[in-house]
Amino acid sequence: MERSWDHFPLFISSKDKAVLVVGGGKIATRRLKALLPFSFTITVVSPLITEEMKAMQDSFHYLERKFQEEDLPGNFLVLACTDDKELNRTIAQLCHEQGIYVSAASSKEDSSFFFPGMYVEDDLLFALSSDGKDYHKTAKVLKAKRKEIHED
């Protein structure tokens, strides 16, 4: 029997779509870096952000404070990337109630989408996912494919 996938890969327009990143640590930084090449309007809300985020601060709007439920309306995507699993779960539940796509870094079950591993080569964008099961495997395969492409 063939494997049944729970998530469909879809390339959508990022133009004029708002994204909220909740958190300012390593995971939030990685997710922010993945979003920046696209046309999203990005807001980060966190009392603190990494030095790497500070260096990119002209590319997003920064709210230097804790998350508030009022931050959610109007966002197309929300990334709950805090080190507080309960807060991430609460954010995910609120997003589900409001029909907002959410990725909760601490729980694939709470997420309505997953971040793929991505690689850009000229006019091509490669995206790879393990359906939220094994990000490290995805990264390893993507790295091998990238090397294979450059050896040809």
Q: What is the pLDDT of residues 63-120, one digit of tens each?
A: 999 999 999 999 999 999 999 999 999 999 999 999 999 999 888 889 998 877 777 7
Q: How confident is the model at residue 123 (pLDDT cuts 50, 70, 90)?
A: confident
Q: For the chain, give the mean pLDDT.
A: 87
What's the one-letter identity of residue 139?
A
pLDDT of the residue at 88: 97
β-strands 124-128, 117-121: how paired? Answer: antiparallel
pLDDT of the residue at 119: 72
pLDDT tens string 13-28: 999 999 999 999 999 9
pLDDT of the residue at 134: 56
Strand order in the sheet with 41-45: 61-63, 41-45, 18-22, 77-80, 101-104
**Strand, coil or helix: 116:** coil
Residue 151 has pLDDT above 80, yes or no: no
Helices (H), the chain: 26-35, 51-55, 85-98, 135-151
Backbone φ, ψ for residue 83 (5° rounding): -90, 10
**Strand, coil or helix: 14:** coil
Beta carbons of 28 and 42 less than 8 angstroms apart: no
